[in-house]
């Protein structure tokens, strides 16, 4: 089944700077249906990743139950839930008053036809040069409420009011099994924000004979628009600096989502992103910096550990802490304190895994492991221990040394695109158009 709705309503007072553009068009493709002859096709994702519709939805594996202790009844396994085939929507053209109501009506029909789900119910592809600011807020709120994943494809633009709506289309999160599930901006797609301004034609119709009243109305409308923007940003969990950046820039100055720092701060997940073309040592430094929330790269060094010595080295760090703590007790503490197990490779591996299971923040050794240090007054001070898989850019682990031993890092990578932590936050991964 495929529906096509075209809005023909007028533009409201708060309108970004746009030339004449085509009114919004909303196309819907349900999993079991075909397309109408006149409806524009929905473009496929970029070829190098080619995610199917299932890759954007939650993958729900079967639950595995441990063997119960003697005398206890085994737990009943939860039924296996197959991935849900999501409906696809494509929104193109100018955003105008009434588009949010039409989108809600379409989503209501999809819910009525397929029932409610715990995961996202649809994907909406956005390709719009903007339009009504207030309508963009309404569309974004609807995307969040219905758990719709917004996607901007490689050759599409989504700017101004469209970009604000787009941010709400990545609010639903469930830890994915494989990248790029639930990601929403293909490398090459353009998402950009700018300051809003008032529709002059609308103002002249109301205050053509009263210049003073025109100024007062313009000020009141601008203040109302700013208040709506602040509230919307707060509802979407955006940082206050985002609003300040938008309001403080000229209308013609667009801020594109292009750097790693912007992807992270706006909770946007890139599609088609490979690991950075730098040595693993540099990636380890970036992982460390992102994990501790630092942007200072000066003086950082990554010292590679010998693979067979990494676990022993980290166990010795834990042992040194235990020797200064009166709270280190129990079988594992005794084994570590004795030093006997650290002479046998198999015992080292077993003790390392047992301590991680017990909650000690030892990093999972998934590949080459590095001690990241910073030069402080001529002394190398350890900042992080980082282990990185050379084959899987989303597989790495970090531990932070502290006064009480090893600890988890204060900042964690986004579950749907952990590879972003392999980059410096200033790295441009999705360049703006020239």
pLDDT at 53 exceeding the cut of 70: no
The per-residue pLDDT for 405 is 85
Q: How far is CA 198 from CA 44, 65, 193, 251, 365, in A?
A: 37, 60, 16, 11, 56
Other CB atoms within 10 A of residue 299 CB: 12
Q: What is the dihedral of CA 166, 171, 172, 178, to 10 degrees?
A: 70
Total length of the chain: 434
Distance CA 119, CA 147 (A): 7
Task: Tell me the percentage of the chain whose pLDDT exceeds 70.
Answer: 64
> Comparing 275 with 317, which gets the higher pLDDT?
275
Higher-confidence position of 57 and 423: 423
Model pLDDT, residue 18 = 40
The pLDDT-based confidence of 423 (bands split at 50, 70, 90) is: very high
Check pLDDT > 80 for residue 291: yes
**CB crowding 55-93: b at 16 or more within 10 Å, else e:** bbbbbbeeeeeeeeeeeeeeeeeeeeeebbebbbbbbbb
CA dihedral sign of residues 212, 218, 224, 226? negative
Q: Please state which of the ranges 31-45, 117-131, 269-283 shows the lowest mean pLDDT.
A: 31-45
> What's the token pair of residue 71?
């005398």
Q: Is the confidence at residue 15, as pLDDT, over 50? A: no
Q: What is the mean pLDDT of residues 335-345?
A: 61
Confidence category of residue 61, pLDDT binned at 50, 70, 90 = very low
Looking at residue 72, what is its pLDDT? Answer: 44
Task: Quote the CA–CA distance of 233 and 16 in Å, as a whole number.
Answer: 18
Q: What is the mean pLDDT of the chain?
A: 75
14 pLDDT tier (thresholds 50, 70, 90) = very low
CB crowding 246-259: b at 16 or more within 10 Å, else e: beeeeeeebbbbbb
pLDDT at 380: 84
pLDDT at 59 > cutoff 50: no
* pLDDT above 90: residue 424: yes
Range with lowest mean pLDDT among 239-248, 284-293, 359-368: 239-248
Which of 39-43, 131-135, 352-356 has the weakest average pLDDT?
39-43
**Hey, which CATH number is domain 2-62+77-256, 3.90.226, 3.30.1380, 2.30.29, 1.10.3470?**
3.90.226
Tell me which of 150 and 239 has the higher pLDDT. Answer: 150
| pLDDT greater than 50 at residue 429 | yes
pLDDT of residue 351: 85
| pLDDT of 74 above 60 | no
φ, ψ of residue 154 in degrees (nearest 5): -55, -40
Q: Where are the alpha helices (DSSP H) in 77-160?
A: 99-114, 133-145
Q: Which residue has the higher pLDDT, 109 or 70?
A: 109
| Burial environment of residue 339 by CB neighbours within 10 A (0 to 12, 13 to 18, 19 or more) | exposed
When pLDDT is averaged across residues 141-167 and rounded to a whole number, the result is 92
Cα–Cα distance measured from residue 369 to residue 433, given in angstroms and rounded to the nearest whole number: 38
Per-residue confidence at 284, pLDDT binned at 50, 70, 90? very high
- Between the ranges 293-302, 317-326, 386-395, where is the mean pLDDT highest? 386-395
Cα–Cα distance for residue pair 166/104, rounded to 1 Å = 16
Burial of 113 (0-12, 13-18, 19+ CB in 10 A): exposed
More confident residue, 434 or 141: 141
State both tokens at 322. 């235990």
Q: What confidence score (pLDDT) does residue 334 get?
A: 61
The pLDDT value given to residue 191: 95
Q: Is the pLDDT of residue 208 over 70?
A: no
Q: What is the mean pLDDT of residues 312-331?
A: 72
Residue 117 DSSP one-character state: -
Range(s) within the chain of domains with CATH label 3.90.226? 2-62+77-256
Torsion of CA 219, 224, 228, 230, to 10 degrees: 50
d(CA 89, CA 183): 16
Q: Which of 276, 278, 277, 258 is nearest to 268 (CA)?
A: 258
CB neighbour class for 314 (10 Å; exposed up to 12, middle 13-18, buried from 19): buried
């Amino acid at each position: 089944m495929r529906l096509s709705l075209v809005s023909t309503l007028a533009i409201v007072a708060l309108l970004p700077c746009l030339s004449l553009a085509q009114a919004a068009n909303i196309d819907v493709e349900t999993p079991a249906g075909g397309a109408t002859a006149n409806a524009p096709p929905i473009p496929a994702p970029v070829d190098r990743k080619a995610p199917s519709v299932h890759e954007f939805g939650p993958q729900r594996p079967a639950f595995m139950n441990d063997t119960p202790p003697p005398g206890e009844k085994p737990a009943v396994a939860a039924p296996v839930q197959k991935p849900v085939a999501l409906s696809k929507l494509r929104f193109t053209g100018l955003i105008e008053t009434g588009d949010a109501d039409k989108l809600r009506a379409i989503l209501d029909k999809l819910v009525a036809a397929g029932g409610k789900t715990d995961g996202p119910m649809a994907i909406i592809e956005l390709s719009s040069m903007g339009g009504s600011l207030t309508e963009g807020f309404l569309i974004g709120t609807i995307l969040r409420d219905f758990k719709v994943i917004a996607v901007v494809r490689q050759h599409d633009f989504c700017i101004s009011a469209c970009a604000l709506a787009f941010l709400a289309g990545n609010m639903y999160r469930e830890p994915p099994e494989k990248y790029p599930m639930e990601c929403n901006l293909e490398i090459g797609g353009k998402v950009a924000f700018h300051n809003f301004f008032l529709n002059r034609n609308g103002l002249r119709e109301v205050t053509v004979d009263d210049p003073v009243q025109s100024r007062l109305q313009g000020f009141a409308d601008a203040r109302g628009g700013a208040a709506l923007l602040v509230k919307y940003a707060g509802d979407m969990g955006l940082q206050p600096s985002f609003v300040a950046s938008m309001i403080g820039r000229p209308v013609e100055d667009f801020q594109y989502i292009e750097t790693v720092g912007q992807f992270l701060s706006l909770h946007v997940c890139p599609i088609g992103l490979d690991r950075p073309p730098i040595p693993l040592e540099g990636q380890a430094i970036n992982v460390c910096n992102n994990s501790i929330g630092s942007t200072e790269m000066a003086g950082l060094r990554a010292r590679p550990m010998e693979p067979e010595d990494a676990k022993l080295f980290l166990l010795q760090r834990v042992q040194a802490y235990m020797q200064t703590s009166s709270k280190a007790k129990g079988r594992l503490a005794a084994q570590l304190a004795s030093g006997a197990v650290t002479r046998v490779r198999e015992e080292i591996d077993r003790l390392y895994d047992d301590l991680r299971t017990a909650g000690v923040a030892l990093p999972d050794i998934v590949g080459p492991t590095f001690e990241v240090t910073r030069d402080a007054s001529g002394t190398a001070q350890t900042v992080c221990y980082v282990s990185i898989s050379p084959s899987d850019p989303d597989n790495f682990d970090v531990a932070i040394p502290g006064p009480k031993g090893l600890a988890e890092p204060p900042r964690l990578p986004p579950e749907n695109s952990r590879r972003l932590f392999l980059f410096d936050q200033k790295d441009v991964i999705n360049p703006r158009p020239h």
